[in-house]
């Protein structure tokens, strides 16, 4: 089974980025503030979102922007994402307010105490009516979300899948020493992509995600490495024109 990668977007400590327009770097450090106007002309709920939901939605928006797509995307489009720590930071913040008494428990924080908040907001914003899921990974920025996206395409559940990962740990946590942010890819079936430019073709072989190179399959180990390889691949692997008579 294969799918075309037609868009890539991210939010990292280095800032917002998409595809070939911006240099990709998953550096350690605090994420920059994401403003509503960076992503949307209007969004009534954006100011109330927690940092985790904002980061995930930022990656989704940048990936779709890179692919030249806008919502509503319909029932043939879905989202598969992964997280290591999820919204635990928001859960703890909410618990701190609840410990002061039920009257003081924050309803705004409570609304974002599930790691699926990214999936819900993306589905609302872009009209995703296909399969959606948020999966847990023991290590941040693995490829489980990409595998799930490819499987949804393989089983005919969707023709477009946003696939990626989001993690926003607190810097003072033991797990917070790693990078924070979100990375998302737009995966499309060849029929839906309709000949639009793509970074490359991904293959799902058993449980392995591989990049379909011209003469080989390149297994990938992590989402950041896959993005770097796709960016290099798209630059160096333009189709060769056949000479007349070849």
User: Which residue do the tokens 């000479």 mark?
Assistant: 243
Kindly report, residue by residue over 63-115, the tens digit of the pLDDT: 999 999 998 999 999 999 999 989 999 999 999 999 998 889 999 999 999 99
CB atoms closer than 10 angstroms to residue 183: 31
Peptide bond into 72 cis (omega under 30): yes
Where do the structural domains in the chain lie, given as residue ranges? 2-236
The alpha carbon of 184 is separated from its chain's Cα centroid by a whole number of angstroms, namely 2
In terms of Cα–Cα distance, which of 89, 92, 202 is closest to 146? 202
SS3 state of residue 177: helix
Confidence grade of residue 217 (pLDDT, cut at 50, 70, 90): confident
User: Which residue do the tokens 């399959």 mark?
Assistant: 217
What radius of gyration do the chain's Cα atoms show?
19
Q: What CA–CA distance (Å, rounded) separates 152 from 137?
A: 18
Residues 6 or more apart whose Cβ sits within 8 Å of residue 88: 169
Predicted TM-score (pTM) of the model is 0.91
Q: Which residues partner with 201 through β-bridges?
A: 4
User: Which residue do the tokens 């003469």 mark?
Assistant: 215
Q: Which fold has domain 2-236?
A: Peroxisomal Thiolase; Chain A, domain 1 (3.40.47)
SS3 state of residue 40: coil
pLDDT at 240: 34
Q: Which residues partner with 167 through β-bridges?
A: 181
Confidence grade of residue 214 (pLDDT, cut at 50, 70, 90): low
């Amino acid at each position: 089974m294969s799918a075309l990668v037609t868009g890539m977007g991210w939010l990292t400590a280095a800032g917002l980025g998409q595809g070939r327009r911006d240099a990709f770097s998953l550096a350690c450090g605090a994420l920059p503030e994401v403003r509503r106007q960076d992503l949307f002309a209007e969004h009534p709920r954006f100011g109330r979102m927690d940092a985790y939901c904002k980061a995930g939605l930022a990656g989704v928006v940048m990936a779709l922007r890179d692919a030249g797509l806008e919502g509503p995307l319909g029932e043939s489009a879905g989202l598969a994402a992964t997280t290591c720590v999820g919204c635990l930071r928001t859960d703890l913040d909410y618990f701190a307010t609840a410990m002061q008494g039920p009257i003081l428990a924050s309803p705004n924080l409570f609304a974002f105490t599930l790691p699926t908040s990214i999936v819900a907001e993306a589905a609302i914003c872009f009209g995703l009516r296909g399969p959606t899921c948020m999966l847990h990974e023991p290590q941040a920025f693995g490829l489980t979300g990409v595998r799930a996206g490819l499987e949804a395409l393989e089983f005919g559940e969707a023709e477009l899948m946003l696939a990626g990962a989001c993690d926003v740990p607190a810097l003072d946590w033991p797990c917070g020493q790693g990078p924070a942010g979100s990375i998302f890819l737009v995966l499309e079936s060849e029929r839906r992509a309709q000949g639009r430019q793509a970074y490359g073709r991904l293959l799902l072989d058993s449980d392995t995600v591989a990049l379909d190179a011209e003469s080989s399959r390149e297994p990938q180990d992590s989402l950041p490495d896959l993005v770097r390889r796709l960016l290099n691949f798209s630059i160096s692997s333009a189709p060769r024109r056949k000479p007349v008579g070849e």
